[in-house]
Amino acid sequence: MATVTTRKKGTVRLPQEQRVSDIMAAARQVISEKGYENTLMSEIAERAGVVEGTLYRYFDSKRDLMTKVADAWFEEVLESDTELPRIQGTRERLRYLIWRALMSIRRQPAMSRFMLLEVRQNPDYRHTRSFELNKRMTAEISLLCGQAIERGEFRRDVSVPILRDLIFGCIEHRTWSFLRGEGDFDIDEVADGIANVIYRGMAAVDRASKSEIENVVERLEKVAEKLEERAGGKR
């Protein structure tokens, strides 16, 4: 009955924060190599230089650890962006938001996969920081589009949620193909392509802007005037 628990001498006691960040770093490493399902707590422990049980002093469960890793990563990605506030113009801002998302995927495909696929499995994903940050990102686009509609730059009869889903959905779908290795993509090309369709639509109905019509009308009016003058002069 009497369990004999021996314990190695010489184990170091780091300050809590250091340990936590060591573990998270190790976890991030393993996850991005193997994905959630194939990540073993034992491997994380090993790489962090602790024993498995120690992980549970700092994290409630595997899921909890993973969630925190995801949250931290997402936060970093968004924080590191100092560009956005400087960009002017609806189309340019929209293009940049798309570009930024594609860029972070290109830079860290494994983590992106983790964020897109595995983090969302979490039964209470809706209460995670990642979810919140994700919402904030989509809100940026919604706001942008909403304002464009207000200003009359975008059509009034388009639903903002659908627009948002189109943009983010496209980014994610593009990402899947990429992560599956179904061919690379050029970030600028895709960002342009999306913005292009969103702005101008697909239909090839031959259209002219109002100014072009005005132009024609003016030209014809001049002809008319000239004729009128001639007619008047002969009178």
The site for DNA (CB under 7 A) is made up of 2-14, 16, 19, 39-42, 50-54, 56-57, 60-63
Q: How far apart are CA 71 and CA 73, in angstroms?
A: 5
Residue 235 interacts with, from a second copy, DNA, none (CB under 5-8 Å by kind): a second copy
3-state secondary structure of 202: coil
Residue 51 interacts with, from a second copy, DNA, none (CB under 5-8 Å by kind): DNA
Q: Tell me phi and psi for residue 82, to 5 degrees.
A: -110, 0
Q: How far apart are CA 194 and CA 27, in angstroms?
A: 35
Residue showing tokens 């100014």: 211
Answer yes or no whether residue 169 interacts with a second copy by CB under 8 A: yes
Pick the binder of a second copy from 37, 52, 103, 104 (CB under 8 A).
Answer: 37
Residue 170 interacts with, from a second copy, DNA, none (CB under 5-8 Å by kind): a second copy
**Helix-helix angle 90-107:187-200, to 10 degrees:** 140
Residue 210 interacts with, from a second copy, DNA, none (CB under 5-8 Å by kind): a second copy
Q: How far apart are CA 229 and CA 235, in angstroms?
A: 10
Answer yes or no whether residue 58 interacts with a second copy by CB under 8 A: no
Judged by CB under 8 A, the chain residues 184 through 203 that form the site for a second copy are 189-190, 193-194, 196-203
Contacts of 45 (CB under 8 A, 6+ apart): 26, 51, 52, 54, 55
Contacts of 99 (CB under 8 A, 6+ apart): 187, 188, 191
> Which spans of this chain sit near a second copy (rule: CB under 8 A)?
35, 37-38, 117-118, 120-121, 123, 125-126, 145, 148, 152-159, 162-163, 165-166, 168-174, 176-177, 180, 189-190, 193-194, 196-210, 212-213, 216-217, 220-221, 223-224, 227-228, 230-231, 234-235
